[in-house]
Structure 1
């Protein structure tokens, strides 16, 4: 007989827990990749704001797991662009949509957070899906 977890006291991971997963995922990314991310801010919120949902044509606040906002390296963005007074490049991870997706799929929450983080940072670099898959595999 295996010891089943006691779900009566379990709680959904809070913002700090998702942030910790994102920080751990970022730390596992290849060094060269992380160095190029200098100045990229990673934020975790419960949901995207209404303006973002409207801008992207989302039908529900659960439609978006993450988002990159800024000027990617391929478009001349990066740490040097910070001196121009523009906002830093940011990756947003949305806790409630991530948890909803996690509950419906057979993967760990850590894997899901890593996947979304790599995908959104990939937009910063202008990477292809194949490039992102390789980087995600390297991150474990």
Structure 2
């Protein structure tokens, strides 16, 4: 009877959670744990709700309790690994956890093709966030070979290929992802980015609108402005630099381009989505006889800045932040120095 009561509480918690009643769901999960204090499913459910509420440390603790209660409960292991990657930036710990799961030890979840695909996908994300794009691409393709959720893996493959500047390949992956899952804002958004780079502006705009309609909080419509407005905001950002800084940067041109060039992406490893870039030797490293190999300059990428802003006011603020950050690189300042001097 205790088992029946436990599962009844879990069913009620799931129903409440799906209805958006998280307090009620947590109450049912607490009831479930009274019936079975080692209920892995209940601990995992609590972890998922706490994660949604941005109570990250508490969520991690619940996932750990779930894996201790039932080491074969795959969902809790995967949730723990994903939280370590997405929220805490503990990439190495997540990779070690994934490798243990792939090891197939008897006390851990049975390794089938679906689970293997999910693990490779998580490993790919960890590599991506560590800027190991080739490693991420290899692993997401391992995930695709194993099966699993093809739409999600294809969309991520497309995102990685976009970052590598392999736009036509990215397009193929993302178009397939959209066809498999027309409700994926992520796939529509990244397909729009690729099409924009390939010069298909009208189709890109439609896909930006689709992504925004599906996930407005994640994918705002670009705050597109006229060139004159943008350049005026850049000039204002330079004028707003502290007086003690302006005299050191008067000879550093600040240029505006739509995107990083293919050359910068291919040869310098620059992200196609980068907001700004400093090219040159920082003042702290340039001696009196230093001869720069390239023209010292700051470049702001208009289209990329527009895409992360919801309106003109937000765009102006982001231009200010980006200008100050890149000027800080010219001055040879650390991130801490920039914050202290008001350049962050």
* Equivalent residue number for residue 150 of structure 2: none
Larger Cα-atom Rg: 2
- Any runs of at least 4 consecutive aligned residues in structure 1 with deviations exceeding 2 A, and if so which? 55-59, 84-88, 133-138
**In the alignment, does 2:273 pair up with 1:66?**
no
Which residues in structure 2 correspond to 1:113-132 (within 5 Å)?
113-132=319-338
CA distance in 2, matches of 1:131, 1:85: 24
CA distance in 2, matches of 1:122, 1:14: 27
The two structures have a TM-score, normalised by structure 1, of: 0.73
Question: Which structure is richer in relative contact order (CA contacts within 8 A, separation 6 or more)?
Answer: 1
Select the structure that is richer in strand: 1
5+ unaligned residues in a row in structure 1: which ranges?
1-10
Coordinate RMSD, CA, aligned: 2.8
CA contact (8 A) 2:280 2:292 kept: no
**In the alignment, does 2:312 pair up with 1:97?**
no
SS of equivalent residue, structure 1 residue 73: coil
**In the alignment, does 2:314 pair up with 1:108?**
yes
5+ unaligned residues in a row in structure 2: which ranges?
1-222
CA contact (8 A) 1:91 1:120 kept: yes
The two structures have a TM-score, normalised by structure 2, of: 0.32
Partner of residue 36 from structure 1, selected from 231, 248, 260: 248
SS of equivalent residue, structure 1 residue 64: coil
CA distance in 1, matches of 2:258, 2:305: 9
**In the alignment, does 2:267 pair up with 1:55?**
yes
SS of equivalent residue, structure 2 residue 284: helix
Select the structure that is richer in helix: 2
* Equivalent residue number for residue 4 of structure 1: none
Question: What is the number of equivalent residue pairs in this alignment?
Answer: 121
CA distance in 1, matches of 2:269, 2:294: 23
